[in-house]
Structure 1
Amino acid sequence: MMLTDEKQWTDLWENGTFLTHHIELKEKFSLYALYDFFIEVELDFKTNKIIGKGHFKAGETLDRYAGNIDINNI
């Protein structure tokens, strides 16, 4: 997270592994694995354009993907 925002995006696209999507009523998220943590990319539901990102290793954010992937195989 010490990289510039631009370098963080480049690192995600070059080295990240797409895992799954999560869709709610007005929000859409894409989950990626990168090194030893997860990156969640938030997308505008109508345009599918990126509007934000977050990173984490575990917790409630990761819990929303519990039925979509087996994180033990990552």
Structure 2
Amino acid sequence: MGLYEYMMLPEEEQWNNLWQNGTFLTHHIETTKKYSLYALYDFFVEVQLDPSISKIVGKRHFKAGETLDKYAGDIDINNF
């Protein structure tokens, strides 16, 4: 499945697909936010968590770019 097909899935199916098929890569922690990065098929999914309420507050998907830059040094993206 490609990124476009994934984005066309209903939200609940996107989450189910991520939990069933995604590979956790790393965390990135900021002052008020925590991010978890997953590899899924040929793209990445970043899950945003709010540690103050211990809940997921969002996600975004991408192949490369600025969003992936904050994980530089934590993972070798060439393996995914």
2:27 alignment partner in structure 1: 21
Unpaired runs of 5+ in structure 2?
Answer: 1-6
Cα shift readout 1:12-32 (whole Å, capped 9, x = no counterpart): 000000000000011100000
Match of 1:62 in 2: 68
The one-letter code of the counterpart of 1:54 is: R
How far is the alpha carbon of 1:49 from its aligned partner?
1.0
* Alignment partner, residue 11 of structure 2: 5
Q: Mean alpha-carbon deviation: is it higher for 46-55 or for 11-20?
A: 46-55
1:33 paired to 2:24: no
- Aligned-residue sequence identity (percent) comes to 72
SS of 2:73's partner is coil
In 2, Cα distance between the equivalents of 1:47 and 1:59? Answer: 29
Amino acid at match of 1:8: Q
Select the structure that is richer in helix.
2
Aligned residues: 74
Structure 1: which 4+ aligned runs deviate by more than 6 Å?
none
Give, in whole Å, the separation in 1 of the partners of 2:15 and 2:29: 22
CA distance in 2: counterparts of 1:14 and 1:48, whole angstroms: 21
Deviation at 1:48? Answer: 2.5
TM-score, reference length from structure 1: 0.95
